[in-house]
Amino acid sequence: MKKVRVRFAPSPTGFMHVGNARTALFNYLFARHNKGDFILRIEDTDLDRHNEKAVESIFEILNWLGLEYDEVYRQSERFDIYKKYVDYLLEKGYAYECYCTKEELENMKKEQLKKGLPPRYTGKCRNLTKEEKEKLKKEGRKPVIRFKLPENEKIVWEDLVKGVLEFDSSNIGGDFVIVRSNGIPVYNFVVVIDDHLMNITHVIRGEDHISNTPKQILLYKAFNWDIPKFAHLPIILGKDKSKLSKRHGSTSVEEFRSKGYLPESLINFLALLGWYPNEKLYKEISQKKEHPEIFTKEELIELFDLKDVNPAPAIFDTTKLDFINEFFIRKLDLDTLYKHLKEFVKVREDFDIKEIGDTLVIKIKDKEFKTDKKTFYKAIDLTRNYYKTLEDVFVYLKELLTDKFEIDKKALEFIKTNPESIKVIEKFFEKVKLEQVLNKDTFKKIVKSIQKELKVKGKKLYMPIRIALTGKLQGLELDTLIEFLGKERVINRLKNFFLKGEKND
């Protein structure tokens, strides 16, 4: 049995779409599950759209996701290889030079549409004589090279996801271009050459490539090569069931990375876009799992099988991604979480963490805060259950690391419309000063006594204290915040609140 060899073959024209990332992941999982090879091939023959930064981004994103490739190739370095296979097709009569102009092709298309026919190349240049070609060249025409389609041939393959698919050679657009007029070979041609020479056994890609497959199969047959197995992954839709696009929010891996999603969370989420493990196999490991939809990369490798890929469209729901990310963040030990934060700030200009001796300098937006690693770890440990993303870490750190803050408009409005609020804050200040230590238990005791003395409860009791300590209507649990701050810092915050009140009078 042949060793499994698969490839991820992105075109470097921009950011990596989540659909491409899923394709990379499914290829990677299939290769590792079958003890095979995962190959990265940069398809950069379209020099007009080529973007070298996008090439760098592909390498960076795959490394960030932890999808280690075994070999890497660039099509732009293989033009000499492709040329000899073009020459072979020309010699054998499987291909020919076409001198049709854009205008002629457009008129051909218009005539066909007028007659209610699907647009296709008519084969006008199939049988040009040597003299006719010379004449056209003298006019300054540069030919493309087209592959000559066989007449009325059925092209059938059993897709590993979609099942049996069938096309007719008369309905795939006519003789198709394999080399542009500038001498650069096109996608459908070079992928066949590369997949053969690289011994690719399985072509796993998005279903938008189904229409390319019959053309590629005909090329395999012309070369008398073995045809790999094909697996076309389902399209990804937004929650509204329309094709996933920018209007649904973030769609690139780079965007999710910069928002603070962990690579393991994104891997888990992408794996579930159209795949779920075989029930029987899954039962063997599910008893040890905390949640049925949380998977490590190792578990995904163990469980992954193309048979379990659903051919129906996959729905992209970031609510699930948020849940998965929260779960993974909560499970990280503090050292690992800190490493993730150090990586995260590299892709954000508004956040930073610098180590200067024993001091950590934390940049949040336009402010810097100094602390030590022990206090920093304590802060993230206390607040980690509130994080959906790594970005949230800095939101809560700001609340914990600075005693100077502005009071929100809504918080001020609450104070103004609830006159007993100032009395609650004054009473709280008075009682805090009497305590030796301020922790969850002493806070509970203080609140009970204020409730009894002032006859207030619920929001009218807790909200004034929150506003005085944070300037906001929402945030950490008050007892958690107060225990972290301790008596001295709580008093500082209360003093700052009263100073602000005096300035506003």
Q: Are 220 and 227 in contact (CB under 8 A)?
A: yes
- Residue 323 resides in a domain: no
Please report which confidence band the pLDDT of residue 503 belongs to, taking 50, 70 and 90 as the band edges: very low
Distance CA 369, CA 402 (A): 7
| Residue 312 resides in a domain | no
Among residues 227, 82, 83, 214, which one has the least CA distance to residue 149? 214
Instruction: Tell which of 159, 179, 199 closes a domain.
Output: 179
427 token code pair: 């009473």
pLDDT at 245: 72
Please, are residues 195 and 85 in contact by the beta-carbon 8 Å criterion?
no
Residue 66 shares a structural domain with residue 199: yes
**Residue 239: inside a domain, yes or no?**
no
Given a contact cutoff of 8 angstroms between Cβ atoms, the answer to whether 321 and 389 are in contact is no
Query: Same domain, yes or no, for 420 and 494?
Result: yes
Query: Look-up: residue for tokens 């992209």?
Result: 316
Please answer whether residues 477 and 396 qualify as being in contact, where contact means their C-beta atoms are separated by less than 8 angstroms.
no
Residue 183, pLDDT above cutoff 80:
yes
Asked if residue 191 and residue 66 are part of one domain, the reply reads: yes
The answer to whether residues 63 and 212 belong to one domain is: yes
Contacts of 479 (CB under 8 A, 6+ apart): 440, 443, 444
316 within domain boundaries: no
Clarify whether residues 135 and 225 are in a common domain.
Answer: no
Q: Look at residue 89 and tell me whether its pLDDT is greater than 80.
A: yes
For residue 30, the domain's CATH number is 3.40.50.620
User: Given 179, 205, 224, which residue is the final one in a domain?
Assistant: 179
Looking at the 3D structure of the chain, how many domains does it have?
4
* Whether residue 336 has pLDDT greater than 90: yes
Residue 335 buriedness (CB in 10 A; 0-12 / 13-18 / 19+): exposed
Show the domain range for 380. 332-402
Q: 279 in a domain, yes or no?
A: no
User: Which residues partner with 39 through β-bridges?
Assistant: 7, 71
The answer on pLDDT for 422 being more than 90 is yes
470 touches 482 (CB < 8 A): no
Instruction: Tell me the per-residue pLDDT of 447-460, one tens digit each, with 9 for 90 and over.
Output: 999 999 999 999 99
- Options 246, 280, 409, 416, the catalytic residue: 246
Quick one: 52 and 191 in the same domain? yes
pLDDT at residue 139 greater than cutoff 50 = yes
Assess whether 246 carries a catalytic annotation.
yes
Helix (H, G, I), strand (E, B) or coil at 217: helix
pLDDT tens digits, 460-487 = 999 999 999 999 999 889 999 999 999 9
- Residue 201 sits at φ, ψ, to 5 deg, of -95, -30
Round to whole Å and give the CA distance between 223 and 217: 10
Q: 467 and 473 in contact (C-beta within 8 Å)?
A: yes
Q: Which residue, among 322, 400, 325, 328, has the nearest Cα to 364 in the 3D structure?
A: 400
CA-closest candidate to residue 263, choices 334, 339, 176, 198: 339
Indicate which CATH number applies to the domain containing 97: 3.90.800.10
CA geometry: angle 443, 484, 487, nearest 5 deg: 55
Q: Count how many Cα atoms sit within 13 Å of the Cα of residue 177 in the half-sphere of its side chain.
A: 15
The single-letter code of the amino acid at 486 is G
173: left (phi over 0), alpha (psi -120 to 50) or beta: left
What is residue 292's predicted lDDT score, i.e. its pLDDT? 86
Residues 198 and 69 in one domain: yes
- For residue 288, being part of any structural domain is answered with no
213 in a domain, yes or no? yes
pLDDT of res. 246: 66
Q: Which of 37-51, 109-123, 185-199 has the lowest mean pLDDT?
A: 37-51
337-356 pLDDT, tens digit per residue, is 999 999 999 999 999 999 99
| CATH number of domain containing 461 | 1.10.10.350
Q: Does 94 share its domain with 173? A: yes
> In DSSP terms, which residues pair with 6 in a beta bridge?
38
- Strand 163-168 to 95-98 pairing: unpaired
Reported as type and span, the H/E element at residue 145 is strand 144-147
CA nearest neighbour of 25 among 236, 210, 297, 208 = 297
Question: What are the tens digits of pLDDT across the range 234-262?
Answer: 999 988 888 887 666 678 999 999 999 99
Compute φ and ψ for 479, nearest 5 degrees.
Answer: -65, -35
Residues 156, 230 within the same domain: no
Nearest to 5 by CA among 299, 226, 235: 226
Q: Which residue intervals of 180-317 are DSSP H helices?
A: 187-197, 213-223, 253-258, 263-271, 279-286, 297-303
Spatial separation of the C-alpha atoms in residues 67 and 83, rounded to whole Å:
32
pLDDT at 429: 97
Has residue 36 got a pLDDT over 90?
A: yes
Q: Which amino acid is at 200?
A: I
- Are 106 and 166 found together in one domain? yes
| Sign of torsion over alpha carbons 253, 256, 262, 266 | negative
Residue at which a domain ends, from 365, 381, 402: 402
pLDDT of residue 249: 65
Q: What pLDDT score was predicted for residue 504? A: 52
Would you say residue 265 lies in a domain? no
Same domain, 463 and 483: yes
Residue 207 pLDDT grade (very low, low, confident, very high; cuts 50, 70, 90): very high
**Residues 398 and 413 reside in one and the same domain:** no
